[in-house]
């Protein structure tokens, strides 16, 4: 049985890998664990750096359960000739679904309404209660027009939304297929009713949304973060929501993640926070795990990874 390092994984891993691998703990690994390991399965977002790679002399592959690899030192892996695999494509639809779920939930007061409907205060129907924002026909600005961003745009079309996008590179095929408009970041912030962050975390996108950007949004604007927590400056967002500079936010990720239990953002009623559920659907998670195992097995056997980052 081949030994790998990983934080706890669900039973699905053993089912799909036919019990091939013995898992030893990643974040609390001992010297003997590292020396015996032939692979690292990155489940969740524990950091994997060059020092850990050096502590594993028999390391053949790093297989990431997910697309984003910002928590893995890819340059260090490349320098050491260690292939890194991820799971592109399989989670695009589920993450786009969750983006729309947050847009609808925030705009139509779903969470606040649920709490009110369960409370003693709800004793009769009130037509003037919790009037939300119209989603159909509104303007959606997508920051990051990759695979997930394109799936979000596709869903926005079904709501007759005007779709603006800002991306490192212009995508004429998306403009033609989905009617999206390529605009500057400033125009996107000014004109969008909803700003959806669907970009990867890179040095360029870290801290992308701060006080200046939030001030540029409409006062009725809603920010959705389905990217990574550090794309948004948490303090600036908390200030903007508290001061009413923007109307609300829907966050599937935060910085830090999770937030400290006494963080002021957790006390605000105009924000919905979910625990990083972007890809958390049954079908998607099964596909992700299978792709993770396929990369893992290929690396251990010295074959080319089906989905190689580096």
Does the pLDDT value for residue 132 go beyond 90? yes
Rounded distance between C-alpha atoms, residue 75 and residue 286, angstroms = 29
Sheet strands (E) in the chain? 2-6, 21-25, 39-42, 61-64, 84-85, 139-143, 162-166, 181-182, 194-197, 222-225, 248-251, 271-273
Quickly state the pLDDT bin for 66 (edges 50, 70, 90). very high
pTM of the shown model: 0.94
**C-alpha of 102 from chain center:** 13
pLDDT confidence bin for 175, thresholds 50/70/90: very high
Q: What is the mean pLDDT of the chain?
A: 97
Distance CA 214, CA 233 (A): 10
Cite the active site residues.
228, 257, 276
pLDDT digits (tens, 9 = 90+) for 208-250: 999 999 999 999 999 999 999 999 999 999 999 999 999 999 9
pLDDT at residue 65 tops 90: yes
Distance of CA 2 to the CA centre of its chain: 31
Instruction: Give pLDDT, residue 1.
Output: 87
Q: Residue range 21-35: average pLDDT?
A: 97
* Domains of the chain listed by start with CATH number: 2-88+282-300 (3.40.50.720), 92-273 (3.40.50.720)
pLDDT above 90 (res 22)? yes
Task: Extract the tokens encoding 18.
Answer: 């036919």
Residue 85 has pLDDT above 90, yes or no: yes
pLDDT of the residue at 87: 97
One-character DSSP codes across 158-190:
HTT-EEEEE-SS--HHHHHHH--EE--HHHHHH
Percent of the chain with pLDDT over 70: 100
Distance set, CA 228 to CA 50, 235, 290, 301 (Å): 23, 15, 24, 33
- Whether 186 shows a pLDDT value over 90: the answer reads yes
Q: Contact, 48 vs 71, CB < 8 A?
A: yes
Strand partners, 197: 143, 225
């Amino acid at each position: 049985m081949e030994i790998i390092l990983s934080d706890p994984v669900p039973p699905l891993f053993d089912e799909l890998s036919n019990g091939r691998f013995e898992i030893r703990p990643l974040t609390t690994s001992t010297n003997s664990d590292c020396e015996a390991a032939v692979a690292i399965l990155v489940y969740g977002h524990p950091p994997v750096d060059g020092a850990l790679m050096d502590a594993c002399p028999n390391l053949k592959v790093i297989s990431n359960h997910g697309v984003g690899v910002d928590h893995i030192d890819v340059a260090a892996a490349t320098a050491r000739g260690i292939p890194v695999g991820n799971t592109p494509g399989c989670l695009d639809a589920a993450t786009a679904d969750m983006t729309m779920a947050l847009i609808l939930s925030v705009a139509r007061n779903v969470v606040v309404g649920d709490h009110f409907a369960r409370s003693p205060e709800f004793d009769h129907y009130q037509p003037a209660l919790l009037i939300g924002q119209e989603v159909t026909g509104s303007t959606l600005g997508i920051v990051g027009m990759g695979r997930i961003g394109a799936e979000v745009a596709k869903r926005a079309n079904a709501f007759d939304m005007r779709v603006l996008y800002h991306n490192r590179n212009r995508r004429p095929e998306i403009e033609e297929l989905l009617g999206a408009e390529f605009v500057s970041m400033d125009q996107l912030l000014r004109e969008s009713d909803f700003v959806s962050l669907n970009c990867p975390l890179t040095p360029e996108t870290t801290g992308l949304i701060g006080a200046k950007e939030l001030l540029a949004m409409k006062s009725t604007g809603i920010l959705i973060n389905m990217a990574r927590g550090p794309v948004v400056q948490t303090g600036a967002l908390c200030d903007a929501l508290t001061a009413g500079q923007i109307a609300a936010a829907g966050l599937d990720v935060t910085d830090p993640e999770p937030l400290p239990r006494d963080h002021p953002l957790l006390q605000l009623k105009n924000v919905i926070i979910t625990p990083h559920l972007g890809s958390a659907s049954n079908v998607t998670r099964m596909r992700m795990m299978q792709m993770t195992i396929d990369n893992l097995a290929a690396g251990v056997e010295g074959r080319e990874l089906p989905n190689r980052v580096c």
